[in-house]
């Protein structure tokens, strides 16, 4: 079942689409939103599987996977930053509109800048994580070669 209806916010061509009972917010940048949300879901599912595997390994086999804590921490940080942009696109953040509506347009931009910089923060975080993982791979290869 698929139905379309406008969300009534007046913020551009946004709508709510219901696909088989699940309501999804769509907007002009729906492809980016969908990819970001899918990556968030993938990160969360990966964390659940890793933690479950760690629990099973510890209780059943009496050993640890050694990597769950570190990779889980990285996934949690990446998930936090990426989910912020998804939440913003869905309008899920609380806003103090009482203050914002009394500000001049130039001051509103100052309050908008942190929200707009979330994407840049996400890119920088991904680069830092990639650099860290690459360095660890190099160290593991060197130790395996010895």
Give me the residue spans of the domains in the chain: 2-145
Summarised one tens digit per residue, pLDDT across range 27-52 is: 456 788 888 889 999 999 999 999 99
Summarised one tens digit per residue, pLDDT across range 82-108 is: 888 888 787 777 666 777 778 888 888
The predicted model gives 119-135 an average pLDDT of 91
Q: Give how far Cα 30 sits from Cα of 9, 35, 37, 137, Å.
A: 17, 9, 10, 35
- Rounded to two decimals, what is the model's pTM? 0.48
């Amino acid at each position: 079942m698929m139905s379309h209806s406008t969300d009534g916010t007046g913020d551009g061509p946004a709508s709510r689409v219901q696909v088989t009972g699940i309501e999804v917010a769509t907007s002009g940048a729906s492809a980016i939103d969908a990819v970001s949300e899918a990556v968030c879901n993938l990160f969360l599912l990966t964390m659940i599987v890793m933690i479950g595997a760690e629990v099973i390994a510890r209780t059943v086999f009496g050993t640890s996977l050694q990597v769950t804590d570190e990779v889980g921490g990285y996934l949690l940080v990446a998930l936090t930053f990426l989910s912020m942009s998804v939440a913003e696109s869905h309008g899920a953040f609380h806003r103090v509109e009482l203050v914002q509506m009394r500000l001049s347009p130039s001051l509103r931009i100052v309050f908008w800048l942190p929200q707009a910089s979330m994407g840049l923060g996400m890119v920088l975080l991904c680069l830092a994580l990639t650099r860290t993982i690459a360095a660890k791979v190099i160290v593991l290869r060197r130790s395996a070669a010895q």
